[in-house]
Amino acid sequence: MRLFYCVVMMSLLALTGCTLLPGTSARFIEANEVQDGADQQNYTLVKVTPGLVSKMQQQDAAKAKQLVGTGPLGESSSTYRLGPQDSLRIFVWGNPDLSPVTTQVTQGAVASTPAGRTIDEKGDLFFPLVGTIHAQGLTITEFRQLLTQRLGKYIKDPQIDVDVAGFRSQKVFISGEVRAPGVVPITDQPMRITDALGLVGGLTQEADLYNLVLTRGAVSTRVDLDRIYYSGDTTANIILKNGDVLGVPDRQSRKVFVLGEVGNSIGSNQSRSYIMRRGKMSLTEVLSDAGGLNPFSAAATKVYVMRADDNGDPVIYRLDGRDPASLVMAEQFAIRPRDVVYVSATDVTEIGRFINQFFPLTSVAQSGTSITSNLK
């Protein structure tokens, strides 16, 4: 009989004391709830309302139109300019002695092409009669005009054809979740992000489309490839320039964590983490994928989404399932990578768990009392 009263008293203490209950509880969150999102000492607790959801959707739409990074990348020129190690084929019509050729035999056919001349480390190129020409920084057209002017002192009205035999001076670096990471040379054709990715074999299945990092000098910028491939936003498909580094991260950074009272059976807890699929995911989808709210233990009025804001400060959003509009709001509430979704237990569930942990202790105490009595 005394044991029964002990259990009743401990249950009453659990109802009033809260902190005595074992396990994770949402009560520590409730104590500091604010409706307007005012800053708290440790975190901000915001109630999910239709107005809040609408505001968040507008903010997300505005961010989607911007590149996120540490600064502007600057403009990329689509004009190729010569540099050290580039190889040029130069043909002077009517003057074969100035146009050495290489001969190749392919399937019985003989083909002759002008031999390449390489620009040295100083950016200079030697050509007979005219000597050294500083080619670095010039376009093909500018180089041809300069060579024509110089050669015109020795040959009347020279007809010159120039093209690049080997593009070696400019390159970009592709790393991360691509099939063949490495160096990609820049040619006279403008190379955009999608072009470079195609040249390295494309993305792997583990690639994160949303968070590519383009580094240009001291500036790093996030590139959303999903916007380019699936939204047709070509403004994000930037022209790459010499020295750019494009990193493709894996999808592990797009994990979402679902904790607490999810699942669909008594005693079942399906807390889990999983990688967000492509496209936007709502709170409804995340909870559904985790098995939904546990009908035997979940408090529908205490569904929380925890995340860090742009400054890294914790923000906790609370959804009250008693509100008829909550289902609509949950569908419109966009989940972000690294969000933590937590479903609290009902008060009755917490008390029941406490009692279940308390009974073994009372059994041990009762056994000890019986042993002591027998010894006497």
We report the CATH number of the domain holding residue 113 as: 3.30.1950.10
Q: For residues 176 and 292, give the distance between their C-alpha atoms in angstroms, rounded to a whole number.
A: 35
What is the helix (H) or strand (E) element at residue 29, kind and residue range?
helix 27-30
In a domain, 369, yes or no: no
Same domain, 220 and 242: yes
pLDDT of residue 30: 56
Residue 353 pLDDT level (bands cut at 50, 70, 90): low
Q: For residues 73 and 67, give the distance between their C-alpha atoms in angstroms, rounded to a whole number.
A: 10
pLDDT tens digits along 191-205: 999 999 999 999 999
Both tokens of 240, joined, read 């790459």
For residue 374, give the 3-state DSSP assignment.
helix
Is residue 7 pLDDT above 70, yes or no? no
Q: Are 176 and 250 in contact (CB under 8 A)?
A: yes
Residue scoring higher pLDDT (143 or 64): 143
Same domain, 27 and 153: no
Looking up residue 217, the CATH number of its domain turns out to be 3.10.560.10
In a domain, 82, yes or no: no
Both tokens of 279, joined, read 């496209």
pLDDT of residue 175: 97
pLDDT of residue 17: 47
For residue 151, give the 3-state DSSP assignment.
helix
In a domain, 162, yes or no: yes
User: CA 191, 235, 332, 315 torsion: positive or negative?
Assistant: positive
Task: List the one residue out of 194, 193, 220, 222 whose CA is nearest residue 210.
Answer: 222
Is residue 340 pLDDT above 70, yes or no? yes
Q: Are 225 and 231 in contact (CB under 8 A)?
A: no
Residue scoring higher pLDDT (114 or 123): 123
Q: Are 21 and 354 in contact (CB under 8 A)?
A: yes
Q: For residues 177 and 210, give the distance between their C-alpha atoms in angstroms, rounded to a whole number.
A: 13
Percentage of residues in the chain with pLDDT exceeding 70? 73
Is residue 308 pLDDT above 80, yes or no? yes
Domain range for 339 is 20-65+253-347
Same domain, 73 and 51: no
Same domain, 222 and 323: no
In a domain, 37, yes or no: yes
pLDDT of residue 77: 74
Instruction: Kindly report the average pLDDT of the chain as a whole number.
Output: 81
Same domain, 72 and 218: yes
Same domain, 182 and 155: no
Mean pLDDT of 258-287: 84
Question: In DSSP terms, which residues pair with 174 in a beta bridge?
Answer: 182, 246
Is residue 15 pLDDT above 50, yes or no? no
Mean pLDDT of 145-165: 95
Mean pLDDT of 336-363: 73
Task: List the one residue out of 374, 354, 373 whose CA is nearest residue 6.
Answer: 354
- Of 193, 225, 249, the last residue of a domain is 249
pLDDT tens digits along 202-233: 999 999 999 999 999 989 999 989 888 888 88
Q: For residues 142 and 165, give the distance between their C-alpha atoms in angstroms, rounded to a whole number.
A: 17
Same domain, 72 and 187: yes
Q: For residues 165 and 370, give the distance between their C-alpha atoms in angstroms, rounded to a whole number.
A: 97
- Of 141, 166, 191, the last residue of a domain is 166
Phi, psi of 222 (to 5 degrees): -80, 135
Mean pLDDT of 95-111: 67
In a domain, 313, yes or no: yes
Same domain, 183 and 314: no
Is residue 42 pLDDT above 90, yes or no? no
Same domain, 244 and 314: no
Q: Which of 22-31, 334-343, 361-370 has the highest mean pLDDT?
A: 334-343
Same domain, 267 and 235: no
What is the pTM for the complete model shown? 0.71
Same domain, 112 and 229: no
For residue 142, give the 3-state DSSP assignment.
helix
Task: List the one residue out of 226, 222, 225, 173 whose CA is nearest residue 70.
Answer: 222
In a domain, 302, yes or no: yes
Q: Which residues contact 22 (CB under 8 A, 6 or more apart)?
A: 353, 354, 357
Q: For residues 323 and 265, give the distance between their C-alpha atoms in angstroms, rounded to a whole number.
A: 25
Residue scoring higher pLDDT (32 or 76): 76
Strands 340-345 and 255-260: parallel
Domain count for the chain? 3
pLDDT of residue 245: 97
In a domain, 24, yes or no: yes
Is residue 12 pLDDT above 50, yes or no? no
pLDDT of residue 62: 78
Is residue 304 pLDDT above 60, yes or no? yes
Residue scoring higher pLDDT (12 or 312): 312
Same domain, 119 and 186: no
Distances (CA, A) of 196 to 92, 187, 373: 34, 11, 84
Q: Are 127 and 114 in contact (CB under 8 A)?
A: no
What is the helix (H) or strand (E) element at residue 145, kind and residue range?
helix 140-151
In a domain, 9, yes or no: no
Single-letter code of the amino acid located at 356: N
Residue scoring higher pLDDT (38 or 144): 144
Residues found in the chain: 376
Residue scoring higher pLDDT (287 or 365): 287
Residue 235 pLDDT level (bands cut at 50, 70, 90): confident
Is residue 4 pLDDT above 50, yes or no? no
What is the helix (H) or strand (E) element at residue 51, kind and residue range?
helix 50-64
